[in-house]
Amino acid sequence: MATVHPAGRQDYDRLTGTLEAGWHGVRGIAIVGEAGIGKTYLADATARVAAELGWTVAATTAVEHERSSSFAALAGPLAQALGASLPDLASDDPRCSSITRRHRLYDVIGSTLSDGSGDLLMVIDDLHWADPDSQRLICSLLQRPMERKILIAVVYRRALMLEADQRATLHMLERATKITITPRRLTRRESADLLGLPDGPQVQRMHQAGNGNPRYLLALARPEELTALVQREMALLTDRSSTVLQASALLGASFDSSLLPEITGLDQRTVDEAIDELLSHDLLEAMHLRRLRFSKPAFRRGVLATMPRATRRTLHAAAATELTRREASPTTIAPHVERVARHGDVAAVDVLRSAADIARWQDPRSAARWLCTASELVPGQESLQVAHASVLMTLGRLSEAQQALPHASLRGGGILNAHLRVLQSRPVHDVPNVVEPGIRLFDLVEVELLLGRYKSASQRLPALSELPPFVPNALQVAASLCLGERLAAEEAMARTGILLRTTTDADLAPYIGSIVWAGLGALHLDRLTIALEAAERGLAIIDAVGNELYRAPLLCLLSWAAPSPEDATATMAQARTAARLVGSPLYATLTHASPADLFSAAGIFCVREKPPASSALTRRELAVAELVADGATNRQIATALFLSERTVERHLSRIFTKLDISTRSSLAALVGARGTQWPLPSGRSGAAGPAIRAVGSPTAR
């Protein structure tokens, strides 16, 4: 009993409670649900308890070929229950019809079971594969009065019985079974328990992909198992449903079903019948009107993985043509165009560029991919290359962004300066279908703050008046702190704290970066309550909208403002995991910074104008030193900071020279003894001062 998962505890208690209840005769229990939801697990657990209570247990699992063999599904368990083989259907009287002989057989079996001694549990798993004779016999036994205590548990998928045109049998079965148990899907916390992982971003993604289905959750950790699971499910579908399912997978996790006839080439009636079949198999779910979605995103992933390349390309081309004809949004057309566009296709480049402009703030990963594809289709377009580098900068992938810049002159100016020129060169009205022009201006102010152009950024803040009031106030806090105007920062923070509680998540979702600025500014001003509220609010929005770009800095903020060292350590570990997923060297550095170094070591903030003194450690050297103190090897440090091992060795050599030490243990002891009172850049020793400007190597959000 201790091994039963909490998600199935209530169903398990109902099943075992039935075994222990006082009654006579036959009682039926139906365990019904989608594939992988835990039906068989509950049936097996019940059988184990029954055996421990002294019941006679007769169990079997029907297989697909048994549909054509009379009584094949029940031959084994009836032999166990009767202590003999199944009585022969043959009769010496040739005048007896097959129906009469069948009823006589039912009487013989019923009488034999009733005359037996002890309590009996019969479990028939996958009843949907059983032959009609076995199914009718079960229905007959469930309705027959007996002296002996007998429990018959049947496990089946209702959709497959309907598909096999066993509606009459199913109706009788549902009337005869007194208890019906439908195992539910797991919650996110239960998914974490099942997977044996901490409840964090990884579990959240797996839980959403599997929609709480235990079998899919376990298969997500092993791609080959997920592929096999998808192939088994698709083998149960008709050819028309398989075609519709493949087209649906290409359209997205949710999609407009009215597109399917044009994409598949099937008529509307055939498509509707296929959709009904997919709905009955719990593969799709209806949303509203003709909009559908995959019940388990992991299944869609498996369909895409098993789809032949030629089929995928054909469906993508049909989807791109139909969506273009309907004048759909570029972000809807782009995933199909990028798969089928050919070299020199200017129209495809226009679609990809427009889609990237729209997705630049909500989905920068897709925007970067589309711009990269556009640059390959029409090589040599500087505007595309700079735009691609700009999006890579947003993702924190600075080395890739530098390489994407087309000319050495641009690379010499720094990626932030190139990004600023991109923002300034294309007026908002020239960008088609931008969701909100204010987002572009907000992005411009952020980049100016990162470049240390605080006065220019402050002067632009009044132009953000059409944005939610929280956004300009949060940026004002950061700009004022950077300019050394602490009183103005305090006043802006007072307004920001109130607005944080009154602004809706929908209004803040496009401007998550402003929440990071507000939280770190609050921490710098010793407003820990606001810092915690900002971190928790930002993470809640990220969980809702799925934008993982800012998770690492928000987790760092939550760690720095945590009430206990234990909470801080656990949260910082999550921040490092989030930083690795983004692939940002800046975020990796940020996760090894300290609150005292907020505005100099954090990945989205700035460094001092003066170069570091010869005896001071740079930010990267400081990060290396702290990892050494944590016991990390050179290889582990290189992985954490996205460096080569040779670069780590050079950093250590310079650290040893500056600190006049020669061993790693001496460095670890020095880190532990001094804590945050390190020789920081420009000779800082703890608290961050207000007069800071950005120079040298670029930073990113």
For the segment 619-640, what is each residue's pLDDT rounded down to a tens digit?
778 888 888 888 888 888 888 8
Better pLDDT: 428 or 653: 653
pLDDT at 601 over 50: no
Q: Which of 149-158, 409-418, 646-655 shows the highest mean pLDDT?
A: 149-158
Better pLDDT: 679 or 474: 474
- Lowest-confidence segment of 144-158, 232-246, 326-340, 567-581 by average pLDDT: 567-581
Strands of 254-256's sheet in order across: 254-256, 291-294, 284-288
Report the candidate in 196, 73, 197, 184 with the shortest Cα–Cα distance to residue 123. 73
User: What is the DSSP code (8-state) at residue 660?
Assistant: T
Label the pairing between strands 284-288 and 254-256: unpaired
pLDDT at 479 over 90: no
Better pLDDT: 592 or 363: 363
pLDDT at 83 over 80: no
pLDDT confidence of residue 611: 35
Amino acid at 188: R
pLDDT confidence of residue 657: 76
* Beta-bridge mates of residue 125: 61
Better pLDDT: 449 or 599: 449
CA distances from 554 to 535, 594, 660 (A): 5, 14, 36
pLDDT at 97 over 70: no
Q: Which residue's structure tokens are 């519709």?
A: 244
Report the candidate in 293, 402, 291 with the shortest Cα–Cα distance to residue 698. 402
pLDDT at 419 over 60: no
* Beta-bridge mates of residue 151: 27, 121
- Is 324 exposed, middle or buried, given 0-12, 13-18 or 19+ CB atoms closer than 10 A? middle
Question: CB of 386 within 8 A of CB of 410?
Answer: yes
Question: CB of 74 within 8 A of CB of 60?
Answer: yes
pLDDT at 244 over 90: yes
Please give the average per-residue pLDDT across 518-537, as a whole number: 86
pTM for the model: 0.62
Please give the average per-residue pLDDT across 170-184, as a whole number: 89
CA distances from 231 to 227, 242, 299, 417 (A): 6, 11, 10, 50
Amino acid at 526: D
Q: Which residue's structure tokens are 């594939």?
A: 35
* pLDDT band, residue 700 (cuts 50/70/90): very low
CA angle 195, 12, 76 (to 5 degrees): 100
Strands (E), 263-338: 284-288, 291-294
pLDDT at 506 over 50: yes
Please give the average per-residue pLDDT across 396-406, as a whole number: 68
Contacts of 10 by beta carbon, 8 Å cutoff, 6+ apart: none
Alpha carbons 392 and 397: distance in angstroms, whole number: 5
* pLDDT band, residue 246 (cuts 50/70/90): very high
pLDDT confidence of residue 5: 64
DSSP 10-29: HHHHHHHHHHHS---EEEEE
pLDDT confidence of residue 13: 87
* pLDDT band, residue 513 (cuts 50/70/90): confident
What value does the mean pLDDT of the chain take?
78
Alpha carbons 212 and 190: distance in angstroms, whole number: 8
pLDDT at 148 over 70: yes
Task: Residue 576: count other Cβ atoms within 10 Å of its Cβ.
Answer: 19
Better pLDDT: 642 or 140: 140
